[in-house]
Amino acid sequence: MSEPGTTSEPQRTMAPESYGKYFLIDKIAVGGMAEIFKAKTFGHGGFENLFVVKRILAHMSDNEQFVQMFLDEARVTAVLQHANIVRVVDFGKIGTNYFLAMDCVEGKDSKLILRKLFERRKMLPREFAVYIAMEAAKGLDHAHKKSTNMGQMLQIVHRDVSPSNILVSYAGEVKVADFGIVQASTVVETSTKGTLKGKIEYMSPEQALGEDLDRRSDIFSLGIVLWEMLTGRRAFKTDNEVKTLDKVRNVDVERASVVNPSVPARLSDIVARCLEKNPADRYQDGRELHAELLNFLYPATPDVVQQSLGHFMQELFADEITAERHRLEEGTRLARAMHESEPSVELQEDWEEDRRSGPGDTVAPVAPALEAAPPASKLPLVLGLLALLLGATAVVSAVLYVMNREPETVVIEKQAPVAVTSVSLKVSPVAGVVVVDGQPAGTTQTLVKELKPGKHSISVSAEGFEPWSEEVELNEGERLRLDARLVAVKKAEPIPVRNDTPRVPSTPLSTPPVGPTETVEVAPPPPVEKPKGKLSVNVSGGWADIFVDGKKVGTTPVIGYQLAPGTYSIRAKNEAAGLDSTKQITVKSGETATASFSAQ
């Protein structure tokens, strides 16, 4: 999580601070208005949870306008529940400090990603830029269309869509953050019309002019972020704010494909439409922009791109991840010790005291008093009293029996927990029907299944392939990996037939002379075509266009591209990154060949 003007992450473990129910264990960032921490909470049975706490600095607590912005962020974000929006889980005031608690996104904001790539003279791979913008559009669309329980539109506008407010986790997830200057129907607007709020470089023209805004303003701002991710440059940056405002108001920016010729014309058109000066000419909502970017991304799927983006993030920030995990582990250890040393509250005694009633206690009626019923027949009353007397006699007898019975000692054996083992199965080259211990486990290429220790049978079958099976014996706590390589069924080749049997002569009027025996050759069937293989290509630290024997087949990551068995020339090319490399790769029938290149 980042804030405008905040410093970089500290590298030393801070001493944990007890703050309400939170233990602040790692300071992420600090600026002139607020500070941000990773925080832990602890519960019974070793339950722990990780959050991010954003706390107003003490000297800002008297700034009514800033406090109001903070309240607006809490009020609006609390109603936004979406996978692409950072969720606010708590809000309050401890002492003189207001705070927000949010879900922790373990990753970096897009500003830090672009800065890191700039330091390495690298570009963000195109498919990652498209995916980040696409996912951010989903989150914004949810906010734009949020309504009250009565169906009234909240008319939320973020007003600060920028790289520092678009987070990317180390797993490739994308989330929009910081609704601190949000505009909504529920927000108390304290600024006068014409006052500018937001980062000037990422404003829409109407925002830079101080005009009324709607969702299309956020579409423009997201278009700027996408432009910068594709070009590696700042769209409207100048040497002073006056010039920057002038460029924004006039949308003085070149097409992305002009700045970076490797940007396809179709993608450049999408960005250009986001950056139209007239809001009516832009995409009208985030859903429409998301659909356009999704179509451009095809045939790559969002799940595959997210996974690749996660690997990219882990490689790009490998050193930072190691340091973060060390600080988190050490901070958690110290905070846990603080939590365990605090006095515990005996809730059971409190409840016992509440259940005891003194002379002055009053008991609220459970239900309102019933009105008097009209007189009834005496016969039901007599029968009821008789039944009550018999029931009381039975209860007394049961109590006396229990009191006089010899007490029995009940021994409850504590069973040791059964250790669960797991099997990780990979099926290739195609998905197969997996059966574990006689029970179907689905049709898949990857399977992770928890099993008890002992012997187990696992089998895989697929049409056109020979069945695969294996008997395994798992020890307690063992994690076994199996590779089921299915072999294609070989069709039996027909055997040529020789007809050496003497021909039986016909019985015409004149019998022809019998000649030598005749051999009949049967032509063999055409050769059976071998199953194709697959090619997967990836580029570490960047991306590249991939060519197979001179023919372009796509942009990395290339996954499962089908080829006939043979040897091919694989070329990876990215002029902007200075990458142009060729490898010879052999593709085998029914197998996947992998080619790896480096853009570093």
Active site residues: 160
> How is 538-570 classified by DSSP, letter by letter?
EEETS--EEEETTEEEEESSEEEEEE-SEEEEE
What six digits make up the tokens of 476? Answer: 């307690």
Cis amide linkage into residue 368, ω under 30° from 0: no
Contact predicate 533/589, CB 8 Å: yes
Given the DSSP bridges, would you call strands 454-461 and 432-436 parallel, antiparallel or unpaired? antiparallel
Contact 113, 316 (CB under 8 A): yes
Distance CA 584, CA 21 (A): 60
**What are the two backbone dihedrals, phi and then psi, of residue 580, each rounded to the nearest 5 degrees?**
-155, 90
The tokens describing 339, both together, are 């939590």
**Cβ neighbours of residue 393 closer than 8 Å, sequence gap 6 or more:** none
Q: What share of the chain is helix, strand, coil (3-state, %, to 5)?
A: 30, 25, 40
- For residue 465, the 8-state DSSP code is B
Q: CA-to-CA distance for 7 and 570, rounded, in angstroms?
A: 44
- Please give the Cα distance from 411 to 4 (Å, whole number): 64
The first and second tokens of residue 451, run together, are 């099993």
Instruction: Give the E-state strand segments of 145-237 in sequence order.
Output: 166-169, 174-176
Q: How many residues does the chain have?
A: 600
